[in-house]
Amino acid sequence: MAPDLSPAALRAALEWQLESGVDTAVEAHPVNRYALPERMPAPARPEAPTAEPAAPAVQERRDPVTEAERMAAAADSLPALRDAMAAYPWCDLRLGARNLVFSDGNPEARVMIVGEAPGREEDRQGKPFVGQAGQLLDRMLAAIDMARGAEDPARAVYITNVLPWRPPSNRDPEPGEVAMMLPFLRRHVALAAPEIVVCMGNHACGAMLGRKGITRLRGQWTEGFGLPVLPMLHPAYLLRQPLAKRDAWADLLALRARLGG
Ligand code: URA
């Protein structure tokens, strides 16, 4: 039998679980949160004009990537794209996330940064790169006189992620998740129309460039979604490997030089 706990003790126990990374309540019956819906409801059909027996409703199987492409293409502004992503039902990461993390910074910025996926703090605040790695990113940007909050598009950055929802326990994004969210990322970049994209880390490079191997790719200008792309080491990696900050500094200077000055 459960011990008789005071509300304060229950609250402390819950907080302890949250601190330990628990983010999903276990229910009495198992729920497969990764099962994709097999079928969508059939659209309403007009009455058949003849007396023939009505054909059974056609229930087509919808492809999540095609649906994402359709919904992304229909979005004609950043707020509309955000709404479309919030309404997209196929990615089950949404079920375990507190918030959809769409973007931060100045959408007019010349530079757009693409990261991997929200972590715990990003999920909590609904903004990308606000945890420890995000704080390091802000310091890195400040070192080349840039800031996500800057009003001047020449000094500003605009930030998003490949995935808008936090993967459970910060696991790596799965290929199926990346594939279904990629049309939204492509549209996001098209609508923001930056001059340069910085791909932060391996997963962003995998999604945007179709290539991984960030330690080889970093610092090499390339092209993605029709724009110049600079792959860089992810700030979370730099927190674990401080010696790699030398390489990150070289890449920041390359970005600064490309922007002029
Ligand atoms: N890492 C990312 O790639 N994105 C975030 O928003 C936070 C951490």
Q: Which atom of ligand 1 is nearest to the CA of 234?
A: 3
Token digits of residue 172 = 């790596």
Give the pLDDT band (50/70/90) at residue 146.
very high
Beta pairing, strands 157-161 & 222-224: unpaired
* 235 touches ligand 1 (CB under 6 Å): no
222-248 average pLDDT score: 98
Q: Got the DSSP string for 104-142?
A: EE-TT-SEEEEES---HHHHHHTSSS-SHHHHHHHHHHH
**Is 131 a member of any domain?**
yes
**Is 13 a member of any domain?**
no
Predicted TM-score (pTM) of the model is: 0.79
CATH code of 82's domain? 3.40.470.10
* 251 touches ligand 1 (CB under 6 Å): no
Task: Render pLDDT for 147-181 as a digit per residue (tens, 0 to 9).
Answer: 998 999 999 999 999 999 999 999 999 999 999 99
pLDDT score for 58: 58
**Is 233 a member of any domain?**
yes
**Is 46 a member of any domain?**
no
Q: Which atom of ligand 1 is nearest to the CA of 161?
A: 4
Number of structural domains in the chain: 1
Mutate to test the pocket of ligand 1, among 129, 159, 160, 203 (most ligand atoms within 8 A of CB): 129
User: Would the CA dihedral through 103, 104, 109, 110 be positive or negative?
Assistant: negative
With a CB cutoff of 8 Å and minimum separation 6, the contacts of 243 are none
* 123 touches ligand 1 (CB under 6 Å): no
Task: Render pLDDT for 192-211 as a digit per residue (tens, 0 to 9).
Answer: 999 999 999 999 999 999 99
**Is 235 a member of any domain?**
yes
Structural domain including 226 reads 64-258
Closest residue by Cα to atom 7, ligand 1, is: 129
| Token pair 């056609």: residue | 58
**Is 121 a member of any domain?**
yes
**Is 37 a member of any domain?**
no
Distance, first Cα to last Cα, the chain: 68
**Is 167 a member of any domain?**
yes
Beta pairing, strands 227-232 & 196-200: parallel
pLDDT at 228 over 60: yes
pLDDT score for 7: 78
Mutate to test the pocket of ligand 1, among 127, 157, 161, 172 (most ligand atoms within 8 A of CB): 161
Task: Render pLDDT for 206-215 as a digit per residue (tens, 0 to 9).
Answer: 999 999 999 9
* 237 touches ligand 1 (CB under 6 Å): no
Mutate to test the pocket of ligand 1, among 112, 116, 200 (most ligand atoms within 8 A of CB): 116
Task: Render pLDDT for 84-122 as a digit per residue (tens, 0 to 9).
Answer: 999 999 999 999 999 999 999 999 999 999 999 999 999
